[in-house]
Structure 1
Amino acid sequence: MTMCLLIDEDGRPRQYLEQMLSGLGLETSLTSGTDDAVRFCNDNSPDVVMVSARASGGAPKEFVKRLRLTARGKPPVVFLFADTPDTEMFGQTILEGAADVLMMPFDRDLLHFKLRQAGIAV
């Protein structure tokens, strides 16, 4: 089964996303911050990491850079943004190695498409 690490502090949107991921056949593990996420990636090697811009632990591009330097397996990262960030932030996260960026709200079909773009067979 494909494992997804979901990093988000906000309970309600996190639960909704967890349900969508489960419906696509992904096993989901949760952390609330990027520090825990890096440790989780080193211990468990998830297939994909989805991280909310609201997650504690620093700027999106810094998280991707840190994950690329330290995490075992180097899973693709999809960033979730609820508010429209500036285009520079989008570009920086992609340049640091994020697979994609996804704006909330989104539906199951768009999530499925973005996961496939990131190389996840769902």
Structure 2
Amino acid sequence: MNQCLVVDDSRTIRRAIIATMKDLSFEFQEAGDGLEAIEKCKSRMPYLIILDWNMPNMTGIEFLRNLRRMSGGEKPKVILCTTETGLNFIQEALKCGADEYIMKPFTNEIIKEKLKLLRII
């Protein structure tokens, strides 16, 4: 079973993303910030990561940079899911290794459409 790591400092957002994807064949893990997410990736590298930008301890971009330098860290598909909507933010996310970008607030359909674009579903 493929693993999805949902990284957001909001438990409500993490639960909303998991609820949207519950009918897909994923095992889910959660992390409240980038530091926790790095530890989870060290234990088991996920197939998919849905990642917030603005978090305490380690931001999503800092996590993404660290992830892509880890052994096996080039493999996960990463969708950045954030309130940062400026073109410069999107460009930085893609430059740092994000595969897709979703702006909050999001809908179930938007998440599923991004998963289709990445050929995950």
TM-score scaled by length of structure 1? 0.85
Which residue is 2:48 aligned to?
Answer: 48
In the alignment, which residue of structure 2 is the partner of 1:79? 80
Whole-angstrom CA distance in 2 between matches of 1:59 and 1:10 = 13
Partner of 2:88: 88
Question: Does the 8 A contact of 2:34 with 2:60 survive in 1?
Answer: no
Amino acid at match of 2:80: F
RMSD: 1.8
> Structure 1 residue 52: deviation in Å?
1.3
- Asked if structure 1 preserves the Cα contact closer than 8 Å seen for 2:9 and 2:33, the reply is yes
In the TM superposition, what is the alpha-carbon distance from 1:85 to its structure 2 partner?
3.3
- Report what 2:20 is aligned to: 20
Runs of 5+ consecutive residues of structure 2 not aligned to the other structure: none
Q: Compute the displacement of 1:119 (Å).
A: 3.9
- 8 Å CA contact retained: 2:61, 2:93: yes
Deviations 1:43-84 (A, max 9, x none): 112101111123333343332111100253531211111x24
Instruction: Give the TM-score normalised by structure 2.
Output: 0.85
